Structure 1
C-alpha cells in the first residue's frame, strides 16, 4: 500500500515535537512573571512634536508614492512596447 512513508514521517515529526516541548518546560522558557519588572518612563510628546511627526510622515509617504509611480510608469513604458514588438 502507498502512503507508509508519509505516515511514518508524520509519526516521527510528532514524536520529535513532543520531545522538544518537554525540554522547553524543563528550562522554564515559557514560564515567568512580570512582577519585578520596572516600567520605563518615556517623555510625553508635545502637540507641536506630534504635528511635526505627522507632517514628516505625510511627506515620506508622498515621496514613496511618487517613487512607486515612477518605477511603475518606467516598467510600463518598457514592457508594453516590448510585448507590442514581440506580438508583431
Structure 2
C-alpha cells in the first residue's frame, strides 16, 4: 500500500521531537537572560545635526553614484570598441 514510507518518516520525526523535549531542560541552563544587562545611553541628536547628517549622506551617495556611472560608461565604451574593431 502506498504512503508507508512517509508514515515511517513521520513516526521517526515524532520520536526525535519527543526525545528533544527531554533534553530541552538541560539546555535551558545554557541560555541567558538579558534582565541584568544595562543598556548604553547615547546622546540625542538635534534636528540640525540630523539634517547635517542627512545632507552629508546624500552628498556621499551622489558622489558614489556618479563614480559608478563613470565606470559603467567607460566599460561600455571599451566593450563597444572591442566589439566593433574585431
Match of 2:33 in 1: 33
**TM-score in terms of structure 2 length:** 0.65
Structure 1 segments unaligned to the other structure (5+ residues) = 1-21
SS of the residue 1:57 aligns to:
helix
RMSD between aligned residues? 1.8
CA shift digits 1:12-54 (9 cap, x unpaired) = xxxxxxxxxx8xx4992xx110010001111000000000000
Match of 1:77 in 2: 77
Match of 1:60 in 2: 60
Could you tell me how far apart the structure 2 residues matched to 1:58 and 1:35 are? 39
Bigger radius of gyration: 2
Match of 2:8 in 1: none
SS of the residue 2:44 aligns to:
coil
Could you tell me how far apart the structure 2 residues matched to 1:74 and 1:67 are? 11
- Number of corresponding residues: 61
**TM-score in terms of structure 1 length:** 0.63
